[in-house]
A and B are shown apart, each in its own frame.
Chain A
Amino acid sequence: MLVIPNLLSLILWLPLVGIVLIFLVPRKKEDLIKKIALLTAFVDFLFSIILLINFDYNEKGFQFVEKWLWLDYLNSYYFLGVDGISILFVPLSTLVTVLCILISWRSITDKVKEFYLALLFTNIAMVGVFLSLDLLLFYLFWEALLIPMYLIIGIWGGPRRIYSTIKFFLYTFFGSIFMLLAIIYLFLQYGTFDYTALLGKTFQPHIEKLLFLGFLIAFAIKVPMWPVHTWLPDAHTEAPTAGSVILAGILIKLGGYGMIRFLIPLFPHATLYFAKLILILSIIAIIYAGLACLWQSDLKRLIAYSSVSHMGFVTLGIFSLNPIGVKGAILQMINHGVVTGALFMCVGVIYDRTHSRAISYYGGLATTFPLYAAFFMIFTLASIGLPGTNGFIGEFLILLGTFLSNKTVAALAATGVIIGAAYMLWLYQRVFFMRPSQGVYNLQPMKWNELIALIPMIGLVFLIGFYPNPFLDFMRTSVFHLLSNLR
């Protein structure tokens, strides 16, 4: 076992080295910039694997804790730590960054330097959100993530990128101010931003509900839950491939992570009070977004709506409030990051060649581009939740958990799986089968960077699909501990 002191800080701030180096490289040397970015991200990923190996999954508290005084008047700490809930997201974030760099290797040709700077900055902010246990620090990373995402969507995105990026920014900015208010209120009440110190504090019932809602608005917009999901299809559709992958892979997981990390343990009574409401919203998200997928004419928009539907499953699992459901929700977040991220990469691969995202443009790709069709098939099936793929494990656990707490909801949610199969398979049929259309002949074969980016995702699809136990082991103790002080 390799023991590294301050491992979390190392993982968090390592991309900064890359940022500084890229700053120093003249912008003409694009290859060097890409290599530096890839190397930093990859080393960061290796460190997060070391973190994973050293993680002790029988420990219910936080591990690798680092705590230094940061702002003493505010009693705020630079306080990092991981437990079973956040541990899996750290390697996922670093992995997604590596893959994003690979997938953008050729497709980003404009402002290369800024792009990789933004990607590495995104990495810092994402990892920071998962690691920080100080509410102010958490908020800082949470908001800091907006800056690079705003730029990534706005600069390198599609035709309607500006509308989408400003919508995305204002939507999430609007959501998080309520969280900021709740955080400040907590601070004034208890004089600390320390998450572990706030655990187990009690509130007056109506205050607790208001605080819960303050956090919920921020998280619900990030997830996104049903009535506030409208920024996501635009942002996903117009973002460049890497942006979509980060959005699908990590950014919208932050909402679900926040719910598990903050809503349930800090406000247990309000959680029980609002659980029904959130279950209903999740059901609406699953069915409504699933149906919306059926009449999308744009590849990316369809996958974006499917994200809304899948994240509906995640919130469903979280607020089923039993260990199986919550574990399923965490696993499903990882799965969704892998599968939807991979689907967006696949769309990016074909978009780079044809420059069209319209479903009607394609047809018969299976005959002209068979390798690609195979990749897409695997991820389609994983997205549907076929047994043997990771999607199945996640959805099954969530439905099982929901069934244990509320049978009607589980029955309704299960229809979402059927709708999911309908839209994904129909999409696959329209794009890959039928008669080949004009534009799909003579496509360039897949490049090394695309293959390298997609193959680890396939590995994860089957690894989690066939043998999910190691992944579930990580979160078992923490989830049990999390729910033990509920009710």
Chain B
Amino acid sequence: MFALNFKFSVIALELLFLIAGIFFFLIDKFIRNKNYAFYLTFFIIILCFGFLLFTPFGDFARAYQRDFYSATIQLFLLIGALLVVLISYAFLQEFKALNYGEFYALFLFSLIGSFIMVASQDLLTLYLGMELMSIPVYFLIASSFVYNRNSIEGSLKYFIAGAIASALIILGLALVYYSVGLLSLKEIFVQLAQGLKKRELLLALLLILAGFSIKLSLVPFHMWAPDAYQASPLPVTAFLAGIVKFALISAFIKIMMIGFSPLRIELGTFLLPISLLTILIGSLLAIKQDNIVRMLAYSSIAHVGYASLGILSGDYLGYGFIIFYMLVYLFTTIGVFGLLIYLSRLKREYLEIPSMAGVSKSLPLVSFLVLILFFSLAGVPPTAGFMAKFYIFITLLKGNLIWVAILSLLFSVIGAYPYLRVIKVIYMDSPPYEVERGEYAVSLFAPIILSVLVVILWGIYPKPAVDFIQRTLYLYMSMLLFHF
């Protein structure tokens, strides 16, 4: 046992977010023009890119560690956060009752949680990070109460599901503590590698998995997702679908990569049916949805199913591909929600799929962007969505899971239909009336165009991104025992 060190420079990012969030809460009452919050948040996030480069690697109180893995994941989260903040500006201009500093403050707090989660060195920190990430989101979902009476219902559903998840994870942690005496991931690995306490730790892992599957909306626990998605303001949905899920998956990969890696085969037997069912149910239920946000909620369930299939492979190449998959999904989903914000600003009814009929006639550019992003979600080349799925299938076949690969490929055909349907409605149905074309706000279209470009670029040439992620994981794994 050596002394804890408190290097505050390591957690400079989180501190900055914390100060900014508190500042918003304190000062917001006194500022008339509420747009200041957007500019400040934007500025802080840009600043954080610089911080991310210059903060040293190392650990904080042996709970939080900045290393290759966490720095990379935090970079991706930060990019996602930047895009979400940009698209939320246009949204809040329209929905003024939400336009308060608190919106951004809660957003930043949630981001702190996700940062802590992916950088945590022990399970307790991870759990606390997860709670810190989730609780502001409950508020954010409910915040659209003025416009959408159902938002309380969605928020409460998510809250209750999240509380159950917390309970399960805490149970798991208790079991881990009971059997190992510590919550550190490395310590768990040490015990497991010696073949000790396997049964207790497996039970603990399954409890943790159950908690994570509630948060990730894997299938037996997916019921909260459509309601919560539909109820929340659109940028928050984008945050929930893109960033929160990305952070959760990365954290779970971390657990599997360091702590419980000797149990990966046992975990696979449980995760396999769950993932396949998730893909199937997510794809099937998406077919009949008329509300596009609900449809995207089910599609996000299915996408997380694909990503969790990658965990079955149990090697770090596979984990890298999951991260790539979720990264592509993050970009795509933020782009899609950006477009939905644009559409909903024109007409509130545009969130219902049938009323989108013939939008392409008056909004050709927007429809074209929807087309590219939706083909990417459906996994048709040459888009990044295909490449991401392709890598996942490669890991599956590499792990000799041929039947799983065949089934998931078949499900992906089912899963393509909902997207085709939206494209059909937009392009092929005849419009009932002409629509005025709204202005193309830069803050809204810059992130959309960026995500579309990323989707096309990585569809044709995914090598730089995949290499970057794989190298990160390789460096992380090889320097695991190195104490910074």
Q: Which residue of B lies closest to A146 (CB)?
A: B380
Q: CB < 8 Å: which of A113, A150, A166, A180 contacts B417?
A: A166
List chain B residues, Cβ under 8 A from A166. Answer: 417, 420-421, 424
Number of interface residues of A (CB under 8 A): 36
Q: In whole angstroms, how far apart are the Cα atoms of A147 and B386 in the complex?
A: 13
- Stretch from A66-74, A101-109, A403-411, A424-432 that touches the partner: A66-74
A181 touches B420 (CB 8 A): no
Contacts known (A143-B386, A146-B380, A170-B413); A71 close to B364, Cβ less than 8 A? no
Q: Which of A151-196 contact B (CB under 8 A)?
A: 151, 154-155, 161-162, 165-166, 169-170, 173-174, 177-178, 180-181, 184-185, 187-188
**Separation in Å of the A421 CB from the closest CB of chain B?**
38
Q: In whole angstroms, how far apart are the Cα atoms of A72 and B470 in the complex?
A: 12
List chain B residues, Cβ under 8 A from A143. Answer: 380-381, 386
**Separation in Å of the B62 CB from the closest CB of chain A?**
35
Q: Which of B371-413 contact A (CB under 8 A)?
A: 371, 375, 380-382, 386, 390, 393-394, 397-398, 402, 405-406, 409-410, 412-413
List chain A residues, Cβ under 8 A from B398. Answer: 188
**Separation in Å of the B309 CB from the closest CB of chain A?**
14
List chain A residues, Cβ under 8 A from B371. Answer: 151
List chain A residues, Cβ under 8 A from B360. Answer: 111, 114
Q: Check A27 for interface membership: any CB of B closer than 8 A.
A: yes
A181 touches B375 (CB 8 A): no
List chain B residues, Cβ under 8 A from A170. Answer: 413, 416-417, 420
Q: Check B428 for interface membership: any CB of A closer than 8 A.
A: yes
List chain A residues, Cβ under 8 A from B467. Answer: 72-73
B428 touches A162 (CB 8 A): yes
**Separation in Å of the A188 CB from the closest CB of chain B?**
6
Q: In whole angstroms, how far apart are the Cα atoms of A174 and B410 in the complex?
A: 7
Q: Check A140 for interface membership: any CB of B closer than 8 A.
A: yes
B463 touches A140 (CB 8 A): no
A173 touches B416 (CB 8 A): yes
Q: In whole angstroms, how far apart are the Cα atoms of A46 and B334 in the complex?
A: 43
Q: In whole angstroms, how far apart are the Cα atoms of A139 and B394 in the complex?
A: 14
A184 touches B428 (CB 8 A): no
Q: In whole angstroms, how far apart are the Cα atoms of A114 and B426 in the complex?
A: 13
Q: CB < 8 Å: which of A114, A144, A173 contacts B382?
A: A144
Contacts known (A177-B412, A184-B393, A185-B397); A162 close to B424, Cβ less than 8 A? yes
Q: In whole angstroms, how far apart are the Cα atoms of A188 and B417 in the complex?
A: 30
Contacts known (A162-B424, A166-B417, A181-B393); A71 close to B462, Cβ less than 8 A? yes
Residue positions of A touching B, CB distance < 8 A: 27, 70-74, 111, 113-114, 136, 139-140, 143-144, 146-147, 150-151, 154-155, 161-162, 165-166, 169-170, 173-174, 177-178, 180-181, 184-185, 187-188
Q: Which 5 A-B residue pairings sit nearest by Cβ, starting from the closest?
A: A177-B409, A140-B381, A154-B428, A143-B381, A174-B413
Write 16 A-B pairs (CB below 8 A) sorted by A numbering: A71-B461, A71-B466, A73-B463, A111-B364, A144-B382, A150-B420, A150-B423, A154-B423, A154-B424, A161-B428, A166-B421, A166-B424, A170-B416, A173-B416, A181-B405, A185-B397
